[in-house]
Structure 1
Amino acid sequence: MLPGMDGFALLRRLRERWRLPVLMLTARGEVEDKVAGLEGGADDYLVKPFHLKELRARVRALLRRAHGEAENLVRRGRLALDLESRRAYWEGREVRLSGREFALLAFLALNAGGHYPREVLLEKVWAGEEGVDPKAVDVYVYRLRRKLAEDAIRTEGGLGYTFAG
C-alpha cells in the first residue's frame, strides 16, 4: 500500500541489492500476506496496530539474530558454544559445565587444530593464577571427556591437548 509499489515489491528490490534485516510493518494481516512476506525475504512481520513494546522487542531480536549470533555462537563438529550465555551443547544436548570447564573447552574449541601443553593452558585459561598445580589441566580435561566424549579432546604426545570435536 505504498505509493507506486507495494511492500512485497519493495522487499524484492531490497533483497536484490542488500542483505540486511527486514521487519515488515503492515496493515495486511491475512495469513497469505504474512506467508508471502516471510517467504519473500522478510525476517519478521508485524501487523498494525501493534504495541510499541512489541515492536522494540522484535527489533532487538532481529538485531541480535543479524549481528550477535554469528559472534556469540561457535560451532565445531559436534560442539556448539554460546559464548554470551556460557552454555555448551554436545550433539544437540546441553551439557552442564563449571566456569573453568567452559573456559577450557572454549579455548580449545576456538583454537581447534592447535596443540596446547599444560603450561600454555594454565597461562591462557587459569590466567596466571598462582599456585595452580599443572595436573589441574589433566583433571579438567578428564571431566570434559566424561561430559562430552572420550574423543572430544585428544592428547598428542609431546605436543599437548587438542580439540577433536
Structure 2
Amino acid sequence: MFNKYHKAKLKTKQQRWFTPIKYLILSILPLTIDFALKSISKSFKEININFEVPSFLFELALLWFLLFFMIAWYLSPFTFSKVQRIRSILKRIIEENHFYYKNDETNKIHSSMIIKFNCDQECLILKVYPEGAKYSSKMSELTPVFQTALNMTVISVQEDFANHTTYILSKETDNYIDSTNTWTV
C-alpha cells in the first residue's frame, strides 16, 4: 500500500487563533448582510417602497456560513483531521525552537526546517530535513521534544542519511510505572 508523506514547513509565523477567527468572521458576514437587507426591506415597506430580498439569498448565506465554518474548524488546533492536527503540532515545534531563518528587514521566513510525516495505525514516521541550517547539529536533541509534544514514545532514530534524520514514534510504550510497590519510610 502506498503511504503518503505529509509535509510540515513554517512559511509564516503561526497565528494560532487568527486564521480560524478570520474564517469565522467571513462565515458570519453573509448572514449579517442578509439580516441587514431584510431590515432595510422592512423599513422601505413602512414608507410604501416595495423592495423584496430574494429568498435564495438566505440559503446562499447559510451555505457560505457552513463552508467557512468548516474551513475554520479544519484549520484550528481542534480539527477533525489527524493529519492537520499533527501538522499544526510540528509547525509549532519548528516555531518555538526557532528552526527557521527570518529576514529581519521584511520579517518573513525564507528558510525553515521541513518535517515530512506519515501516520500509520501503529506508529508515526517523521523525516526531519534541517536544510543545512545551523540547527542541523541539534537533531539528536529533538527526541524529547517530539515525545513531549506528540505524547508518543520514540522507538528509533535513524541518522543514516546525509540530508535527513528519521524518527519512528509509537503510542505503545514499555516504560510503564509500576504502581504495585508501596513506599517505605
Greater C-alpha Rg: 2
Greater relative CO, 1 or 2 (CA 8 Å, sep 6+): 2
User: If the TM-score is normalised by the length of the shorter chain, which range does it land in?
Assistant: 0.3 to 0.5
TM-score (norm 2): 0.31
